[in-house]
Structure 1
Amino acid sequence: PAEKRAVTVALVGQPNTGKSTVFNMLTGESQHVGNWPGKTVEKKEGRVFAGDKEIYIYDLPGTYSLTANSLEEKIARDFLLKEQCDVVVVVVDAGQLERSLYILAEVVSLGIPVIVALNKMDVAQNRNAVVNPEMFRQKTGLVVIPVTASRHDGITELLEAILHFDSSRTLQSDRFPEINVPHFDAVLQKIQGRFSQGPSAYWLAGKLIEGDEDVAAMLAGQLSSERWQEIQELLPSPEQGQLAMATARYDWIRTILPCLVTSKPAQYRRSGFDIAATHPFWGKTIALAVLFFGVIAAYLIALPLMIPGFAVFFLAEPLQQFLSSVFPLPLCS
């Protein structure tokens, strides 16, 4: 029998994008939950057999970026940089594309194979937003699969895309998010073509601009001291670099977003009562009926409250006469 070939898949996404639901739908019961080595963060991995392939799927911790400011971000980044993933599935929230596309802007710059799982399509539809997966493919050059994981919609198509994905198909550098940041191109030229393995020079240059200490330490040990000194002279302060890079990524997102999402006017579906209430004849009939029953209801509620008042009114004079006979008032002199 043919030997099964193992495929490694990493699921990446921001918190609350439905990434874990996608993982559960892909792996079913064939999953293991533990901790990452030496860490307290939960590690979830699953295995799926499909045809002649054995697929190992890793649900990386939810992360907003690959800056490694938190333990979750560091774990996700280390896995993407050090493990030989055949494909990375970036799960984005179709209902909140502007926010959840930020992590995609970083992952594609790594130069690794990426599939986009466009999750929560039902949420986008409920918000009267039309998300166009085909336009998404054209604008980014990525494989895009629309998914509603909570209903298992699109999960089969996503698994098929993983099985038949060409691992050599990485995003070309001219399709990377455009970074209009001072000295970015100069830093990129200093390191481009220096590394045959690992993340792309494009991603490394961005991290240097951001003041990433881990990337700086790695490059300082691999470049000549002269070249490293030249790069350091080009770098802004970490605060300025991080703000500039974040702005550039969001500019890229806002550039493509209008092509991906269009809003449709909310369509109000008239009920049977709406139709009857606005009818020329039945509408007036209903209005008179409501008025009639409203008056009746008002009297029925008010009557018990009025009875004590009527009783006091009619009994006031007899009660006064009775009290006068029992307690006669003294005659005035």
Structure 2
Amino acid sequence: MDETYADANNPTYGARFPGGHQDKFFELYQKGVEIGTWDVEALIADAPVQQDKTEWKRMTDEQQLVWSNLVARFLDGEQNVAIDATKLVQMVDSPYIDDSANKEAFYTGLQFEEVKHTQFCAWYAENVVPDQVFPTIGKGSRHGLSRLDDSSKADHFSERIEDILNTAVYTKQPHDIARAATNYGIFTEGVRARVRYSHMKEMAEETDLRTWLTAIEEISTDEGRHITGQVELIKELVEKEKDGIADYQGVSDTVLTQLQDAVKLLAKGALGSIFQMQIVKDERLADEEFDDQVDHHVKLRMRYLNDIFRETLALPGYDDDNIELQLRAAIDEIRGSVPDTEAFLATIEHNRSAAQDLREYEDGIGLASRPGNR
């Protein structure tokens, strides 16, 4: 992307929002208009859907369990962000944020794209994944397609994100906005998402799920703009702190605190990726090979973290060596309770069974069928 961004004296586009100028957020919004309008229905019509259905039937029971869990999590995550994007729009309507109109336009476009991602994932779960593999179809979370019990959600990370975002919407203070943008922009849609898309692309290629792969490539392009925008928002706050503006002092520490809180989540993602790929390839790694994979996934996540915290944000308190040590220690700790692929599969099956129990309970009290149920 061209790094020379237009402003009021050097217009690239013929229109701008009232009272605003054409900054990076305006460009990201316009890029979404130009290239982010891929059509889910058209993708489905042109995609080799039968190929995916055939591949699902060829999978082993273990592979189906892993893939169904991924589809459920992906659907749930896309849907959560689509709903929460309304709050992101409200969050940037703050006196501490420059050119709010451009940022509101960007986040409105983000919401449209996240709804579209949810549309595809919901269609895939309903029409491609076999019913017996995806036991919560028709019941459960929001649109009735995904229900994961709380114990599967990385120490209630989703709930913490929602609480942090609600606070930012209410206060509109720089530190709260930085905290919410860090959680969404760097972890939910940043490091976790970029690694996840790369990993899922590799898994889809291994399994030959061509329709899923085609959609993931489109979704990944959208998410790249989302990540850029949210990191730019954090950068704006950090630069005001560096300029010595009183209300912004301590923003960098707030951002780094969120990084510390997310280390265990990143560790779980690294181990999960290794276990998932073993299952998809129907292989088991020797200890030395497993350690090599751990090293690969740690370095991959550190590369993304370094790009954001050291290169883009240039935070003076960012210590990449210390973060890497913490990440490796967290992985070792988790391996103590989930030492191998079989234990990983047992965890997924436990969560699915709990989800099934919850669905049956909600059926019994008439809760699952209510519109908008979470």
Q: TM-score, normalised by structure 2?
A: 0.24
Return the index of the structure with the highest Cα Rg.
1
Greater percentage in helix = 2
Greater relative contact order structure (CA < 8 Å, 6+ sep)? 2
Counting strand residues as a fraction of each chain, which structure ranks higher?
Answer: 1
